[in-house]
Amino acid sequence: MYISLRDRPVHDELTSPRSTRSPVGRVVIVLGLVSLLTDVSSESVSAILPLYLTMVVGLTPVAYGLIDGLYQGVSALVRLGGGWLSDATDRPKWVAFLGYGLSAVARVFLLFASGAAGIAAVVTTDRIGKGIRTAPRDAMISSSTPTEHLGRAFGVHRMLDTIGAALGPLIAFVLLWLVPGGYSVVLVVSLAFALAGVALLGLLGPDIRTRREEAEKTGPTPPPFRWRDLTDRRLRPLLAVCGLLGLLTVGDGFIYLALLDHGDVNVYWFPLFYVGTNLAYLLLAVPVGRLADRVGRARILVMGHLALVGAYLCSVLPTSMAAATVGTLLLLGTFYAATDGVVAALAGRLVPVQARTSGIAAAQTVVALTRMFASAGFGMLWYLLGPGAAMMTVAALLAGAVLLAATRIARLDHAVVTP
């Protein structure tokens, strides 16, 4: 289907000289709302899934644990595939659509799945969908925003996304309160949110075709995507920095466990740690993104890891439990605000346009894989040294890594970026 440029005011907006007046374009808002709806859907299900599986389906901790494990690992693997597909076809919108659609279909089957195997299949499908859609979506944000406002654009997107994540559990429990035992109502409403997200993307999402637009603007069509584009001299230092810092980024779970171990706090608060971190992230995503635009995104990305160093220390240093908890969650939220969207904002511009999605996917995969290694390694360190010493060690190592990475900041922030 050919779409005339007139259908997309966004395009005019970003190519016109007045674009600086509204740096966060319609594309970012639409994609942010798609993420919001989708996150309401997925988080309302995750919030009730433990209760649903144990009380209705009748599964135990172990079966649930296996499913939860699946939930995590799968999406990193398919991310590069989604990036490649998006760049090869020059159709990020429809690849993202496929990803969102797959997750929506998984919700349908969750209604009928009973038993561990069925639920595992559903959960895996959902995560594959997430893996496919993330990079193309970020590439669309990247392509539709003027370079100087990328940090803020990603901040706005991540804020909307996190609002959805916060609303999901709220909606789920209001429904359960209205209809006691009405888990199927939650699942149906969750499906409706997922479908609304898919419809919003399909109908109002921008069909951005970076390669073709590039051809219309500058004449020659950029060459098709080749894997070699990912070895771009501008991208390599970013991947190296992300990998180095990722290797010293242990999972949130460990930080929360250290926090529990350190004080005499009831495990009852454990789920609320996630809520606290999300809240901090939600509030800080936009301001930190704007700061990144002003002082340099690579600088914020690297310095954001100092907040993580702070969170490590805060979780084990002897202070009052309240101070330790608030400090840790706030610092952790800052860390996510300074890294999650910022990595995508950086990576998309350090490769040629035809490799934009794959570039973002590559950076996100490096981050995900190194963090998985980090958590495995940290598990052993915790076992050998105990929580306190292990946290102090990894905090010291990460501080050193930040110093090392800081020597690359200037090169990254001053690299020639793809428009």
Partner 1 sequence: MTARVRLLAFVVVVVALVVAAGVYAVTEGREVRAQRSAEPEAPQTPVMSVVDEPRIVFRHTGLDNEYGTVAVVPLDDPGGARAFTGAACDRVAARAEGVSCLITDPGVATSFEVQELDADWNEVASTPLPGVPSRTRLSPDGTLVATTVFVSGHSYMSTGFSTATEVHEFGGGTRWGNLEKFDLVLDGRAVNPVDRNIWGVTFADNETFYATAATGGRTWLVEGNLTERTLTSVSADAECPALSPDGSRVAFKVDVDPGRAVVWQIAVQDLATGERTLLERGPRGLDDQVEWLDDDTILYGLPRADQPGVTDVWSVDADADAEPELLIEQAWSPTVVR
Question: Please, which of residues 168-207 interact with partner 1 by CB under 8 A?
Answer: 168-170, 173, 175-185, 188-189, 191-192, 195-196, 199-200, 203-204
Residue nearer to partner 1 on the CB measure, 252 or 413: 252
Label residue 22 exposed, middle or buried (CB < 10 Å: 0-12, 13-18, 19+): exposed
| Residue whose CB is less far from partner 1, 146 or 182 | 182
Per DSSP, the residues of 197-210 read HHHHHHHHS----H
CB of 397 to partner 1, least distance (A): 19
- Residue 32: Cβ within 10 Å count: 23
Region 210-249 residues binding partner 1, contact defined as CB under 8 A:
none
Looking at beta carbons only, is 120 or 230 nearer to partner 1?
120
Least separation in angstroms between residue 26's CB and partner 1 is: 10
Tokens describing residue 28: 């970012």
CA dihedral sign, ordered 116, 122, 124, 127: negative
Closest separation between CB of residue 54 and partner 1, Å?
Answer: 5
Among residues 15 and 231, whose Cβ is nearest to partner 1? 15
Stretch near partner 1 under the rule CB under 8 A, chosen from 81-89, 144-152, 164-172, 224-232? 164-172
Task: Check binding of 296 to partner 1 (CB under 8 A).
Answer: no
* Residue 108 contacts partner 1 per CB under 8 A: no
Asked whether the beta carbons of 324 and 262 are under 8 A apart, the reply is yes
- Interaction with partner 1 in 334-373: which residues (CB under 8 A)? 336
Nearer of residues 201 and 346 to partner 1, judged by Cβ: 201
In angstroms, rounded to a whole number, what is the distance separating the alpha carbons of residues 81 and 225?
13
User: Does 12 sit near partner 1 (CB under 8 A)?
Assistant: no
117 touching partner 1, by CB under 8 A: yes
Does residue 273 bind partner 1 (CB under 8 A)? yes
Q: According to the binding rule CB under 8 A, does residue 2 interact with partner 1?
A: no
CA angle 341, 150, 414 (to 5 degrees): 100
Note whether 51 binds partner 1 by CB under 8 A: yes
Number of chain residues interacting with partner 1 (CB under 8 A): 74
Burial of 50 (0-12, 13-18, 19+ CB in 10 A): middle
Q: Output the smallest distance, CB 173 to partner 1, in A.
A: 5
Hey, which residues between 66 and 105 contact partner 1 (CB under 8 A)?
66, 68-69, 72
Q: How far is the CB of 181 from partner 1 (least distance, A)?
A: 6
Binding of partner 1 by 389 (CB under 8 A): no
Considering the rule CB under 8 A, would residue 274 count as an interface residue with partner 1? yes
The binder of partner 1 chosen from 12, 20, 58, 410 (CB under 8 A): 58
Judged by phi (left if over 0) then psi (alpha if -120 to 50, else beta), residue 117 lies in alpha
Kindly give the residue spans of alpha helices, DSSP state H, lying in 52-114.
61-89, 92-112
Residues 119-158 touching partner 1, rule: CB under 8 A, are: none
Q: In this structure, are residues 386 and 318 in contact, taking their beta carbons and an 8 Å threshold?
A: no
The structure tokens listed for 373 are: 């290694």
Pick from 23, 27, 235: nearest CA to 147: 23
| Alpha helix stretches (DSSP H) within 17-60 | 26-51
String of DSSP letters for 307-364: HHHHHHHHHHSSS-HHHHHHHHHHHHHHHHHHHHHHHHHHHTTSS-GGGHHHHHHHHH
Give 204 or 240: the residue with its C-beta nearer to partner 1.
204
Please state the closest distance from residue 202 (CB atom) to partner 1, in A.
9
CB of 236 to partner 1, least distance (A): 27
Exactly one of 29, 116, 317, 396 binds partner 1 (CB under 8 A); that residue is 116
Neighbour-count burial of 53, counting CB atoms closer than 10 A to its CB (0-12 exposed, 13-18 middle, 19+ buried): buried
